[in-house]
Amino acid sequence: MAIEILIVDDNSDIRNILNELILDAGYKTRLAANYNQALTEIDKKVPDIAILDVKLDKGDNDGIELLSHIKSKNKDVPVIIITGHANIEMAVNSLKHGAFEFVEKPFDQNRLLNFIKRAVENLNLKTQNKDYENKLFSSYELVGNSKNISTIRDQIKKISLTESRVLINGPSGSGKELIARKIHKNSNRSSEPFIILNGALLDTNKYELELFGEEKENGSISYGALEKANKGTLLIDQVSEIPLEIQSKILRVLTDQKFKRLNGNNDVNVDVRLICSSSKDLKDEIKIGNFREDLYHRLNVFEINIQSLNDRVSDIPLLIDYFSKKISDNYNIKQLQIDENDSYILNHNWKGNVRELRNLIERIAILQPETKEKISNIVKESLKNDTFNEKIKENSLSVPLKEAREKFEKEYLTIQLKKFNGNISKTANFVGMERSALHRKLKGLGIKEFN
């Protein structure tokens, strides 16, 4: 698709020179001779790039007003400001409002074309990033038939079309970011940015800069996560790791709906839906003084809790099949034939949860084993240090046979119940027992049945 550039200048000679120059460079153009024409063109269709004269027929800063209008519609549009009345204050003002470049008249044509080329590269990079994000949205699904995952799917449907703040709790690698992305994708903000700020990965001294941005001495602006997410969704991942002094500032933003950039004097108003996630229990963090209780109540308008993979074993076969197909497609190889009922996989202690399972399947894909036996060997080698069999062996060697048998039966039947999502009929059929006999066995071993 050809890049379209809007040219706005009240001088017809300059307008025509710019038009010929840009058309010869292989781009499409649209022209506007005054403020109202430019406003009409922008509202009709936001251009890919804009070249704006500062002073038109409406006032001394027409171009700055049009710049702000474009940015309010799409802040990623590169805007080049041109003027024959240049001064430092005007240049600084245009850059503060988000101009990509500032050019004085009479302009050097090669220099201007170079600015346009850079603007196109900047635009393409942002477009690629958005395409990548969209592929992420569509490429992974919330897979599982466990009660926990079914509940979360229903919750996503209900809250996506609201503006409520959401707190997502769950262990590392369980799918918290995926849930946040699904909420955004199904919301009225889906065409706007989805920005992630990871509280656990930031330098302690950079929280304010990353959140609020900065106004630099040269007049340029470094935008923070709040402004980048304007009209869209901001996910603060691992919100428990945000320092207390920054927590109080986030609380102030939620209360006032505005903030100041670092070194800035003016309030910045933003419209952002906030989603937070945590691997720690924030109530416990409140008790030990690491998290503000008032901020917790502000964030926790709606709560989603995703369980560890060990608590939803019935989802593992579905995830194996799902990731096998996805990863085989990504590597352009024949679909991996992984045994979905492999005891090493089903009984593994998945500390890394779904992420760890996906990494295992990707490791198999990279090694490209030719047979099921070789796949099984990779699985055993990868998981050998923490399997159900190893745990049973450890627990059984130091106790009498009867006690060892009971421990094995309890571990084994608990795993099978989880695998079949608590369904007694399916569990009984798989283990080769009558339903009534299984009920008695579960009761005798002290295993609580669940639905």
Range in 132-141, 238-247, 305-314, 393-402 with the lowest mean pLDDT: 393-402
Of residues 126 and 88, which shows the higher confidence score?
Answer: 126
What mean pLDDT comes out for the span 129-151?
74
pLDDT attached to residue 152: 97
The answer to whether residue 399 scores a pLDDT higher than 60 is no
**Looking at the structure, do residues 71 and 124 belong to the same domain, yes or no?**
yes
Show which of 130, 157, 178 is a domain's final residue: 130
List, for residues 33-46, the tens digit of each pLDDT value.
988 899 888 888 88
The answer to whether residue 314 scores a pLDDT higher than 70 is yes
**Looking at the structure, do residues 303 and 161 belong to the same domain, yes or no?**
yes
CATH value at residue 38:
3.40.50.2300
Label residue 390 by pLDDT band (50, 70, 90): very low
Q: Is residue 261 part of a domain?
A: yes
Range from 110-124, 221-235, 272-286, 406-420 that averages highest in pLDDT: 272-286
The answer to whether residue 428 scores a pLDDT higher than 90 is no
**Looking at the structure, do residues 232 and 371 belong to the same domain, yes or no?**
no
As a whole number of angstroms, the longest Cα–Cα distance in the chain is: 99
pLDDT attached to residue 209: 87
List, for residues 174-230, the tens digit of each pLDDT value.
999 999 999 999 999 998 889 999 888 777 778 888 899 888 776 667 788 998 898
C-beta separation of 94 from 101 below 8 A: no
pLDDT attached to residue 180: 95
List, for residues 58-88, the tens digit of each pLDDT value.
666 678 888 888 887 787 899 998 887 766 6
Range of the domain at 402: 389-445
**Looking at the structure, do residues 164 and 270 belong to the same domain, yes or no?**
yes
pLDDT attached to residue 137: 46
What mean pLDDT comes out for the span 223-239?
91
Show which of 245, 278, 307 is a domain's final residue: 307
**Looking at the structure, do residues 39 and 123 belong to the same domain, yes or no?**
yes
The answer to whether residue 398 scores a pLDDT higher than 60 is no
Range in 77-86, 244-253, 272-281 with the lowest mean pLDDT: 77-86
**Looking at the structure, do residues 162 and 298 belong to the same domain, yes or no?**
yes
Show which of 102, 130, 158 is a domain's final residue: 130
Label residue 134 by pLDDT band (50, 70, 90): low
CATH value at residue 418:
1.10.10.60
Of residues 174 and 107, which shows the higher confidence score?
Answer: 174
The answer to whether residue 161 scores a pLDDT higher than 70 is yes
How many domains does the structure of the chain reveal?
4
Q: Is residue 422 part of a domain?
A: yes
CATH value at residue 216:
3.40.50.300
